Amino acid sequence: MDKVFETPIEKQFEFDEKVASVFDDMLDRSIPFYAKVLSLICSLVELHVKDGDVVVDLGCSTANTLLGINSKINKKLTLLGFDNSDAMLGQARKKVEAYGADIKLENADILKLDIPKSDIIIANYMLQFIRPIQRVELIERIYSALKDGGIFIFSEKIIFEDKKLNKQMIDIYYDFKKSQGYSEFEISQKREALENVLVPYSEEENKQMILNAKFKNIETIFKWGNFATFLAKN
């Protein structure tokens, strides 16, 4: 169970062994409708793929999305997961082995990775950890890596342009976290650890970034408070 922030923090947030060991619990308790979002993504992937297609998950963490796709979709797909955390990939490999899933995992710096030609690229709650200038460059590389007719699905924490509404949504989100068993201290500790590490965009900023990279269109396919999932087509 996630108890990472029960004690005073000593460093900024990072995906180390301590976080990796409780990461799945952290996701379930920290991201509203996390399981539902993954199910939605798997359903959309199922509707878009055919035998032989390549699906890439950038920032795959413990491989939940790829495992969901492997379990749900009865097609011969190449499933590739990339992450720069050995600790996360260690957890992912244990789960992939336990489920007997055909998923290839690789430690890679997403900013330097030569992204394989793909039919679908997924990035769940990953872009928000990339510096803004580098984020733009990464989106352009994702666009270039997608085959004709390919799609890019990504989930992000978002902010609101209306400052009052943004504050209200943050308060609502913290109430959600309290309802999941997190204490005020844990919430404040994680907020401090993530400061300047997680840099969210607004919904409109995310969409404009995608369109600037020459994607044909982008739609919000799920949204709850300050969390959203998008689907872009090239």
State how far the Cα of 41 lies from the Cα of 203, in Å rounded to an integer: 18
Q: What residue segments make up the domains of the chain, in order of their start?
A: 17-161+201-233
CB 62 within 8 A of CB 91: yes
pLDDT at 12: 52
Residue 76 neighbours by CB distance under 10 Å: 11
CB 54 within 8 A of CB 80: yes
Q: Which CATH architecture has domain 17-161+201-233?
A: 3-Layer(aba) Sandwich (3.40)
Nearest-10 Cα torsion for 146, 151, 153, 154: 40
Letter for the amino acid at 226?
Answer: N
Q: Residue 3 pLDDT more than 70?
A: no
Q: pLDDT tens digits, residue range 186-217? A: 767 766 666 667 889 999 999 999 999 999 99
Which distant-in-sequence residues (6+ apart) come within 8 Å of 30 by Cβ? 2, 177, 180, 182
Average model confidence (pLDDT) across the chain: 88
pTM over the 0.75 mark: yes
